[in-house]
Each structure stands twice: as structure tokens, then as C-alpha cells.
Structure 1
């Protein structure tokens, strides 16, 4: 059988004695996968045995490598290996000399599809089968048995009618049928057997004793004062037994690996873990010859050292996460080191990277081919459907803030641990590129706009720290919170008409607001600012003209820059939205406000009347960049999309240069062809698929971008060295080598 540790095991059928253990993974490297420490190349296929040869596959991410392996059953000797390009998950089959590899599983969905093909009526209950019984689904004879959260059920193969159901403890991830019994194994550690006749008193065996709430030891009590939270992963290095790991797991929710010193026996440690009731959360391994197992860098939240030698501290520093990973002396509980930020690492604090909308993290730490760090929750189930084009996730100080469906989820960016999951009713936004984000993050907090308020959550705990409300409008009527940015200690927001931000989750909402030409943009009636810590109102700016299009607000260099429509009728819009034609056909102004006081630095009229679809404002290097899109005609076969670029000085608002670029895409596109946001990296402006010198307006001749039209609706994002985008799947373009590659093929 295969294991998530990347090995294949062969054991005796009669007594479980291990005959051999053979790595199927190409090398040893441990990462976090679905909240457990596993090989970067887990064996997620079954083992197919034929003619004395065992076949399997290791790895689930093709860009990281998926390897097909053949082993001799007699002794585990590796006979052959080769790399394949699919995500290998599920049972293998061999037919006519060919090996068939499954690439995932949705057996309950297949069952429902088969019923439909046979003309069976599928009501609401059956249509929910793929979602409810998503953990396991097997068959025997005329029954199909599904595993769900808290129960197992059997269905008639022909009609889909439920035959029986039984409760289990946890999620039934694994099902097997043998000797007339259904065996179910759950993630809570319970194994249940269900048979054809009821047992008068089913025997129950529980190997887990109660975990007593014993007081923490001296070293852990000292550590507790420094823990931001008790979640994530811990490692104990150099211990003689498993007790420190048991202690760490008992008083936190961490998963803990105990690396025993080379002379300590392993079996007593594993027995102690089993008796503690923490098997599955605490794992004991013996120290390898080189000292530390091959964990990926920055994986652990805490490293506890027994005998903290300089070498061991150096090893632990690599293993704990940046931005706060702790190294602790087990003898005293004192903090030996707290790992700081990575040198050259970037951040993504706003929808377009920063409040200036550069769409560039300025990360210089990572470049070239990427290795998988972790995978797992939160997953897609609490997300907004991607076709609704919601706001971007954020990353600051090692935390990832994920926008869900009327919720925000905080995740440890280095190991995938879900820190908290807060419902925020009224926060959902779709078509965000024609509006703005409702999220902004700092090193200690995340700010979330919903309805007429903005909530400040603590980054570690998710606790609400402050509530801000939209300052009153002149007419005394309520307004919703629109724009949101945090720069230094200043929180900047805007007031929009109630319901102006698109929030519906439907096909009709997609058609109206997230694709196609000449769609209305969400606009603000006035801007305001607060002290982000105290909640003190600093200033408000009420437009004397029309709406302020939300995609065209940027902050940099102590100034808030925006475009203000001269068409006062747009403010009267019942929807709080206006098309670019309505916004700009009667004139518009480029406005700059002092960030601290809200006073007007300049207000200059400029012509943006050619813009038909999207408009964006970005700022960098003393320049303000306005990019808008339009069609060069109305013929759907011959007309093309154009992007107009205007670059202004950010001190006076004078135009420095302008250019127009013809795209290769036809008008009326339904994949975001008219909605590409510009990217600024240093002194280069990237307006897909071209690059321009930000200061001179000269087009770069050596930009090696070959994708005149890629397969992806999203816009470009960037680090200091690489551009990222969707092209079927997540892809990247290295700016130094002018090379294109896939981030992932799944």
C-alpha cells in the first residue's frame, strides 16, 4: 500500500509484519498537505500488482513532478520509474498492456450522472449526493455506499433510493466492503463495521484515554506568554522522549513532530504518544544521520530545543516561519530567537498589491521555478464563484487573508493553517475591477468593509478591534462603504449609494456586471479618512462635480489621487454606477488630495472621453498613470480593442506622455479582454501585452511577451522579477530570461 509519506509498504497479511519499505517519491521533502505533514510527492494511487510487479504513482501536482514507479513485489527493488503529466489520484488499472491512471474522484457525482443517463428522475435529495457524500463512495452488488460528515448511507444502484443510513464519528473518508460488512474509517480515528443484521450490543473499542487538563510545565508556561496563537505546527529537536511534544500538543491545537536524538529508542516514545490520546497530532521520528529531517523551510510556528547548541539553533531558524516563528529552550522556556521577515520579501496589502495600484509586490526573494510549500484548506466551498470576479486575497507579515462568500478567512501563509474564519454579512462584492476591494491589510490587522461600516480584525485572532462608520452625507441619508485603503496609520474610505457595489451571486449578475463592453462603473460620492487605530475622523472630501470612479483612486507619496467626473447627473444615479461615457463625456478632472488633511493639492481638467469600458489609475515614481479601454469600431469581426495610456506628473497634474496600443482581440469579448489593469515594476509600465518606459513613454523593444491573447480572464500580477497570470491555469513569465512556464497544471 502507498502512504502520504511518499513510500510504498509491503506487510504480512497474517500479522502485519513489514517485509519492506520503498520510497516512490524522487527525494525526501516534507510539506504541509491538508493540515498534515506529508511528502511533497504522496502516493495517492492504489497499488496495482501484476506478474510480481507493483505499480503506483507518487505526486499530485504535475509541475512539481508526478512519478510512475514499478517495484518488485518480492523485495521492493525499484525496476523502473518515469515522470507523467497528470495528477495521479485513485485506483490504477491495466488493460491490453497499458496502465490507466485516474486523476481525481467524484464517485457520488458519477453515480448521479449514471442515474440521469438511464432516464431516472433526480430530485433535490439525489442532486445533493456529490456534495454530501464527497469523502468516499464505493459499490457492491446492487448497493452504492457513501461516506459523509457524521454518517454513512447506502443507496439502491438502480433507483438511487436510500436503503439505510448509520451515524459515525467524524468524516467517513475511507470505505471498504468485505465478508458482507461495510467498514468505515473516519478522520476522527473511528473504524466502524456495519453488517446485514443488527448486533444486540455492538462492541466498542476506544484506544484513546481521556486527556486530563493537567497544568502546563514550567517551560511551556513561559512559552505561552509569547505565543500569538496556539495553532499551526510545532517541532521538538533533540529530545530523549515524546513528552515535550505531548505537552505542546496538549495545551495547543498544534500538530507536533518530535525528532528524537540519535541514541533514544523510538518505540517508547510512540507508546507514550498512543497512551496520551494524541496519536495523529503528535509524531515521533528518530533523528536522521544529517541531523534534521528534510522539512521545507519556514514550516513550523514553534521549535522547542533540548540542548540548544549553535548548530541546532541554526537548523531551527531555517525550519520556523518568518514573521514570528519562535525557537524555545526546553529547559527554561526562554525564547532563543524569533525569526524576522525575509530579506527582500514583498507584500500584497490591497487588491492591486498596494494603495498605489502598482499590481507589483516588489518581492525580490523568490524567482525562477517554484516549489510547493503547502496545500489544503480553505478550498473552494466557501468562496465566491470565480466567474463573478471578486476581490483579491491579501498577504502581509506572513498571513494570507482570503475573501470568501460574505466571510474573510485568515491563513498562515507558510504552512496553510487556518487561523480564523469570520462571517461578514454584506461584504461580498463581484465585478470588483469595475469597483474596488473591500479588504486592506497591515502587519497587525485586516480591514473589511461591509454595508455602511468597516471592521478592523486582529490579524492573529480575528477579534474585532474597531468599527468605523461612513461619515454622514449632506442629505442625512445612509451610504455604504465603498473604497478602502490603509496607508501608515490612516484609513481612507469612500461613500457610495446603498447597493452600488454589485453583490448578487447569479448568472444574471455575471452577465450584467463582470464581462462584456460598456458596463457601468461603481462610483463614490465623497472620500473620508480616519485614524486607523483610534477611529478619529480626520477629514472628508465632498465632490463638487459627479461621481469618483472607484477603480481610479490611488494613494502614494502622501497624496490621494483620483478622477472626478464633471457630470453632476452621475451622482443622482439610482444605482450609484455610471458608464465611462456618462462619466467622461462632459469633462473630468484629475484631483490630488493631501493624505493627512484632505486639502486639495491640485485639480486639473483632462480629456478621458475616449474611454468606453474600464478605467484605472496607478501611481509610482512621481507619475500618475491612467489607462482606459475602447473599441475602434462596431464590427464584431474586424474591430479591435485598444488601450489608451496617459501619464501625468503627480505634483502638478501635467500630462507627460500618452500612447495607444492596439490589442489582437476582437471587441465584445467575454473573457476580460477590455479589463486588463496596468502593472508598474520599477520604471517600467506593463500594459498587456506591451511594456513602456514610465518616464519617457518609449515602448520597450526587448519585452519577450509572446501571448498576444492568453486563455484567462484575470489581469496580470507581478513581483520584482516575474509576471503572473492565468493562461488556462496559473502561469508565469520571467522578466530576466523572457521565459514562460506553468505555476501549476491543475
Structure 2
């Protein structure tokens, strides 16, 4: 090993000595460098070597030395044909940078955010920086070191965002601002960690929090940090004093994950209590025993300890936990509402009765770095944790009794010590800025910084405390408390604040005026109430910029980017805790199904990233109006519905069983009548079709042996209709002959015979027709030209227009 290579090894080792991540060594790998790095660092090194003879010699050498498979892996590939996951490498060495910009961009894509490093010869610096100049990435050039140049990928990916607190941020928006997670999504990694370090699913524990390239998740008696981009466990901290028994799990819990019996009943968990830990870029705060521990997010080691300002004889009871900027806000002194209800409370939560975990008696603000107390504020009735929101240098909170407690007191002739009150406190001083006590009713607050609006509502969802509300909303100007609007609408929560929309468990409302929101039916053009549908799932929906995620039997989503519909990732189940979180440019899905015996194929942690070359299908859940069909795409044999690049809706025909069972709003797929003779639907992956066809996904599905098709137009008046039909063989290598004629509305579609001939090669065929529909249906007939030939159809798109009366 040369002095230059040895110096490079020492430089890398200084930064990666104790970091158990992945490093990539591109060809031609300097002799001795992998051996030195394996000995000097904790990183696992992946060597790429295209030469088979050299690859075999290296494998033998590292096998003999005990490094192969343990510290070093070898992949027999060169740069031109190398395909690996993005963001994989904490450090990469590129001895001979390629001339092709695409290959350089591929190398850079594999460098992880938050400090990933790429080393290459110094003489290539100008060329590499020029090639990467088009990439909007955080970059930093280090000083030249012994002939090597270092390029770092500092900070987050452009458009990525964090997920903190119970509901994404201290404002309770239930939304990540991540703009990188969008459909279609492909697998980044899977496995890597056990669900033994996760809370039982039915306990509804806090969701993971994602900050700075790390995912933090809580177990029964531990907290662990995982690498967002590889799934590796970075650290695990045993915490025996979490005291979450009776909150996130209870006496019904049994550590028998393979049992078919329930081994933890459903309890409200964090749905009622909220989270007991909060993560920032530079600190982790977690309630542990009588104190709040402050941990280093990189190592899990202690940084400090924060204590409540209480007399020595009073046992600290921590409640709400939230952070805004440099201020840590904590609720303390639990309110025992069960004493009023005369319900048993033995440090366990009864999901039907016990409200004791929902509220704190007082609120205290600390300097989160020094632990100094800034101010305290005391309630008269109790501060509901879900009704505390931070934002705009304010703390908003509701001081109120649960409805059932209020009713009990009234029946006993007792007068509560106060009335329900909404406070806006100055976050730095704790002084009230404005107070509302005339219409306060809510168990939930959410704050929109974008519109300076504070929303008060209920938070009814599955598996929460029985007093939660499912109707009523108030909106206030957050800065001055002026009342903006009220609504008595019903909904399920928690309510998502997505820009100017409030999204409930099914419908959406305007944040600006409270009105129910509508959408234009993509088929009839009529205005319909906006809604989305999902199958069974005991978690609640959460959002990012382009996506809502939830359990819909399996892990599910709704495409917000084009109002596209509900889909499933398939094969795995999300947790009873909402754990499909878009953050740091990744859809994070840590396995939160501990104690689950459902027969899903995959029970593992995984992550997904945007892969535009992939495919996805949905069930469209908008209502179809009764008016005339104006635009409609029919994708024969498709596995689901889909919108195209022009936002036109394509429906699956024949209907797919899971669509008809889950879609309560539209049965249009079933209304398209298709008659076949020995026909069969087929679906293949668009990868199998040439790239030059933008409509590959339509051509990838089809129906053979079709004799006739009737599509309802839903009108008794004649309409002008334009039709476009697509045909493509089901297998590009298939020798089956497809020759047939096409009639539309009783007339030949073309003058040539046969109209369609797909026997020569794989080239798709297209047919266009324009005419008048008289009877409210579009009728097509397909007829094979010879007994040995068959018919086939893949897609049909139609649009209609009202007839213009003569003389106009």
C-alpha cells in the first residue's frame, strides 16, 4: 500500500473509527486499502471489482484473513452496470472518476445526507464539481489531503423535513412538510432490526420521530436510534424507569408474539397521553423516572437531566412534553379524574373509563439547554395534552374538565372551580396574550403558521378515551384571538392541517371558512364532496406534502398530489400506531406490529423512496355523479384505477375484486359490459415495454378474446364523442396472431382490413374515432379475421361534448 493510500486510510479512519455504517470502494480499488480500513474502522466496506480473476483472488484473501463477509463484501460489478440503493454510503472512494456525467451522478446519489463523504483524486475536482453543479445538494469541499479531494453531502436532502412530537411538530398539524416522498415509491431497505425493541401495537404507543437522518423509537424499557437510509441500529439505550406500564401497555400484555390469542388489549396509549419523548437536531428529551433525561442523539449517552420545580416531598409526575426553539414545555401534576368518576385506577388505563393520563395540572417552561425554569402556569380544571399546541412564539392550551366529569359534578350539585378556557400564552414569559372562555369546548388544538389560524376541535378516533368529541370546530386568529368561524360538522380525528385544508378521517374542510370541500368528478365534471376511503385500520391518517398514509388492511396511502385515490403498498401491515411517516426524504415504516399474529407476508421494518420508473395502482374513491360522462379512460385488465399525466382517470375493467369490496362510492367499472370468448385479462410490468411509449402502464394490461364492449354515457340526448383505443400484444415474444376488425356504433372503424394487425412485431397499434352517440351508450364490436387469430384490447379513452344545434 502506497504512502498516499495509507494517508487516505488514516484520514477516513479519523472520522469513521466507531461508526458502523457502509462504505463503498469503487474500482480500481487501491491495493491494501480495504484491509486497512477494515482494521481501522467499524464501517462495513463494499468493494466493487469487475475483473473476475482479481475478484476471486480478493475473496480468497479476505476469507483467509477472516474479513470477508464480516467486515468486507465484494460485488463483481463495474460502474457502468452498477445498481445499488441511494444514500447507502457514509464514505465512498472513487479512484478513477468516470467521464460520463450520469455515472458521476450515480456515485453521488449513493452518498448519504448529513455528512456522507466522497474521496477522489484531486485533479478531478473541477470536472466532478461541474458535473454535480446541476444537483441542488448541500456540498462542501474539504482541503486537499495527500492528493485526494473530499466532497461532503452536508445537511438534509433538498425538500426533506423532520417528524417530531406525537403529531409531527409541536403545532399538532399531523403533517410532515417533506416534499421528496411522492408516488411511486420503491424499496430502499428492509430488515436490520427486531421489533422486540418496540412497544406492543395495541398499546398505541408514541410514533417514531425522525430527525437528522436518525429514526428514534421506543420500546418497553428502551429507546433506540436507527439509520433512516440503511435501517442499521445506531444505538440502543436501556431505560428501566420509563414508567409506561398502564399507559402504553398494561396487565393484559403477554410476551407471546406467536400466539393467536390477543396478548395486549386495545388501550388509548399515546392517543390520550401523548408522547413521553421529543427529539431535536442536537438533543433527545425523554421522561425517565422523576426527571427528564437529555441524551445525545448521535450516541444515546447522557447530556443532562432536567427536574420539575417541586418541593422535595412531592413526587414529580410528568405529563405533556413539547419543544419550540430553545424552550422545553412540560405538563406536570396529573389530574385524577377517576376520583370524580369513582372508577378504579390502579396505574392502568381502562380505555372505556380512565381519563387520568389525558391532562396535567400545571405547565412549566424550561430553557432546554440549561434546565432553568422560565415560568409556570397553573390550571383550574386541567390542561388536556392533546389541546396544547406551540407555534408563533405562543403556547395555546385549553383548561377544561372532561365532559363526563362535568356531568358528574353537576348531578352532585357541585360547581367546578372554573369554566372551560382557551389561553394563548407568550412562550417566553408565560403571560396570557389573549383568553377565550365563551365558546371553548375542545379536546384538541392545531396551529397553522402559514395562515396564523388556531383550530379547536375534538379528537375522536379508534382506541381513545371515551369522552373524545367527533363534532364541532372553532377557528381563531392565532395572533390576537379574534374568532373566525365555527362549524358543527362531524368528523373523525385527529384533524390534519394541510395548507388551507382540514382533512378528517374521510372528508375535508376549508381552514379559512370551515366549509366542506368539494372536488370535480373527473368523469362527469360535476362537483362532488371531497372524500377518501380506506379499509379497516385502527390507526389514524397522517400526512406529508403529497401523501396521506394509514392502515387500510395492509399499509395504505392516499395520493394527495393528484387526488388520485387510495392504494396499498401490499405485503406488510402498518401499526396500530401511525408509523408510515414521510420524513428525511424517506417513507419510514419501522415494524410496529409486535404481538401481531395477522398473516401478512412480511413482518419487518423497511423504508421507501420515490422511484419514478416504478408503477402503482389505486382505487378511486370519489363519488361518480349521475351526469353525462365527459371524460373516461378504461384500462382493460388493469390491477386498479389510475390517473394519467393529464389527471384523467382510468378505471379497471373488468373490476378487480378488492376494488369492488372497498370502493363504496363508484361501481362504474361494473357498469362497463364486456363480452368475451375464451378471453382472459393479463397484466405485466411496464418495464417489459419499450421506454419510448409514455403510456406503457396502459399497454401493460389488457383483455383477450373480446367480442363486444358497451360503455354507459349516462345521457338521453345525442352527444359528440371522440374515442382513442390502444392495442398491444400481451407478450413481446408471443407468436400468437392478433388480427381483427373493429366496429364502433355499428360502423367499421377504418376502411382497411384487418383494422388491427399485431402479428408482425410488438409495435402497439392505435385507433381513433369521432362520431355521434345517439342512445346513451358507446358500443364496440371486435371480430377476429380468421379462426386462428384473436382479438385484444388494452385501453380506451373517450370524451364527449354536447351537440351544437344547427344554425348556431
Flag whether TM exceeds 0.5 (same fold): yes
- Offset of 1:409 from its aligned partner? 0.7
SS at match of 1:272: helix
Aligned to 2:333: 496
How far, CA to CA, are the matches of 1:263 and 1:254 in structure 2? 25
| Compared CA separation, residues 654 and 451, structure 1 to 2 (3 A) | farther
Q: Is the 8 A contact 1:219 1:334 kept in 2?
A: no
- Offset of 1:724 from its aligned partner? 0.7
How far, CA to CA, are the matches of 1:704 and 1:225 in structure 2? 60
| Compared CA separation, residues 489 and 221, structure 1 to 2 (3 A) | farther
Aligned: 1:437 with 2:263 = no
- Offset of 1:267 from its aligned partner? 1.8
> Which has the higher relative contact order, 1 or 2, with Cα contacts under 8 A spaced 6 or more apart?
2
Aligned to 1:302: 91
Stretches of structure 2 lacking an aligned partner (at least 5 in a row)? 122-144, 249-268, 339-344, 409-413, 520-527, 573-808
Give the total of aligned pairs: 491
Q: If each structure's strand is expressed as a fraction of its own residues, which one has the higher value? A: 1
How far, CA to CA, are the matches of 1:518 and 1:705 in structure 2? 36
Aligned to 2:222: 407
Aligned to 1:455: 293
Aligned: 1:522 with 2:339 = no
Aligned to 2:318: 481
How far, CA to CA, are the matches of 1:528 and 1:659 in structure 2? 32
Q: Is the 8 A contact 1:562 1:617 kept in 2?
A: no
Aligned to 2:396: 561
| Compared CA separation, residues 318 and 552, structure 1 to 2 (3 A) | same
Query: Which of 337, 345, 353 pairs up with 2:168?
Result: 353
| Compared CA separation, residues 240 and 397, structure 1 to 2 (3 A) | closer
Deviations 1:692-731 (A, max 9, x none): 1111112111287655674111111110111111122220
Aligned: 1:693 with 2:529 = no
TM-score by length of 1: 0.60
- Offset of 1:643 from its aligned partner? 2.3
Query: Which of 550, 553, 566 pairs up with 2:385?
Result: 550
- Offset of 1:352 from its aligned partner? 0.4
How far, CA to CA, are the matches of 2:73 and 2:26 in structure 1? 12
| Compared CA separation, residues 538 and 629, structure 1 to 2 (3 A) | closer
| Compared CA separation, residues 518 and 533, structure 1 to 2 (3 A) | closer
Aligned to 2:76: 286
- Offset of 1:447 from its aligned partner? 1.4
Q: Is the 8 A contact 2:381 2:417 kept in 1?
A: no
Query: Runs of 4+ in structure 1 displaced over 6 angstroms?
Result: 498-501, 508-511, 566-571, 582-585
How far, CA to CA, are the matches of 2:97 and 2:326 in structure 1? 40
Deviations 1:185-216 (A, max 9, x none): xxxxxxxxxxxxxxxxxxxxxxxxxxxxxxx9
Aligned to 2:420: 588
Q: Is the 8 A contact 1:320 1:339 kept in 2?
A: no
Q: Is the 8 A contact 1:363 1:719 kept in 2?
A: yes
SS at match of 1:524: strand
Stretches of structure 1 lacking an aligned partner (at least 5 in a row)? 1-215, 502-507, 574-581, 664-673
How far, CA to CA, are the matches of 1:448 and 1:698 in structure 2? 40
Aligned to 2:558: 733
SS at match of 2:182: coil
SS at match of 2:15: coil
- Offset of 1:360 from its aligned partner? 0.6
- Offset of 1:242 from its aligned partner? 6.2
Aligned to 1:467: 305
What is the alpha-carbon root mean square deviation over aligned residues?
3.6
- Offset of 1:296 from its aligned partner? 1.2
Q: Is the 8 A contact 2:389 2:445 kept in 1?
A: no
| Compared CA separation, residues 537 and 459, structure 1 to 2 (3 A) | same
- Offset of 1:308 from its aligned partner? 4.8
Q: Is the 8 A contact 2:179 2:544 kept in 1?
A: yes
Q: Is the 8 A contact 1:362 1:719 kept in 2?
A: yes
- Offset of 1:399 from its aligned partner? 0.6
Aligned to 2:453: 623
Q: Is the 8 A contact 1:552 1:618 kept in 2?
A: no
Q: Is the 8 A contact 1:437 1:484 kept in 2?
A: yes
- Offset of 1:340 from its aligned partner? 3.4
Deviations 1:2-41 (A, max 9, x none): xxxxxxxxxxxxxxxxxxxxxxxxxxxxxxxxxxxxxxxx
| Compared CA separation, residues 313 and 444, structure 1 to 2 (3 A) | farther
- Offset of 1:261 from its aligned partner? 6.1
| Compared CA separation, residues 470 and 228, structure 1 to 2 (3 A) | farther
Matching of residues 663-742 of structure 1 within 5 Å: 676-702=493-519, 710-738=535-563, 739-742=565-568
How far, CA to CA, are the matches of 1:629 and 1:414 in structure 2? 33
Aligned to 1:578: none
Q: Is the 8 A contact 1:521 1:549 kept in 2?
A: no
- Offset of 1:286 from its aligned partner? 3.3
- Offset of 1:656 from its aligned partner? 1.4
How far, CA to CA, are the matches of 1:511 and 1:531 in structure 2? 32
- Offset of 1:278 from its aligned partner? 1.1
- Offset of 1:745 from its aligned partner? 2.8
How far, CA to CA, are the matches of 2:28 and 2:529 in structure 1? 54
Deviations 1:572-614 (A, max 9, x none): x9xxxxxxxx9999621111111222222122214345x6xx5
How far, CA to CA, are the matches of 1:453 and 1:314 in structure 2? 48
